Amino acid sequence: MTFAPAAGAQDHDCVVRQFALTRNVINLEPQGMVEGDYPPGTERAYAFARLDCTQVGAGETFWFHWMRNDQEVGRSKARVDVSRNWRIWSQSRIFPGEWAVLLKDGSGRLQAERHFTVAEPKKPAEE
């Protein structure tokens, strides 16, 4: 897991306090933290971020970028506002491969990232 400080001027002072892979998000809380890789056969991955923001420019958004085998396969945006406990999340269907989910601010600066692998499901032994 990487938390990268943003460089240069920006429209927010948000600090990523938590960036996690989970099995679900219910009522803006992560459920079933995933450490390492998702098990074979898992259909969806969730990325959850907890931010501490005391100054936010009007219309500030953060973006979740879902990468599979170094190709972007999806992205979603989340509005950010002033809060010491602002929570945002995104989900993606996942398939076997090498994955990363990147969290970037509205100016494209990397704020956090997580990497994981989804293994091929094991095939039943032939009789």
Could you report the per-residue pLDDT of 68-93, keeping only the tens digit for each?
A: 999 999 999 999 999 999 999 999 99
| Cβ atoms of residues 103 and 113 within 8 Å | yes
First to last CA, the chain: 42
Q: Which of 118-121's residues contact partners 24+ apart within 8 Å by CB, and which partners? A: 118/37, 118/38, 118/40, 118/42, 118/94, 119/37, 119/39, 119/40, 120/40, 120/96, 121/40, 121/41, 121/96
The confidence score (pLDDT) of residue 3 equals: 54
The confidence score (pLDDT) of residue 25 equals: 96
Distance in angstroms (rounded) separating the CA atoms of residues 30 and 24: 6
Q: Give the model confidence (pLDDT) of 98-125 as tens digits.
A: 999 999 999 999 999 999 999 888 777 6
Distance in angstroms (rounded) separating the CA atoms of residues 96 and 12: 36
Sheet containing 61-68: order of strands: 2-3, 110-118, 97-105, 61-68, 71-79
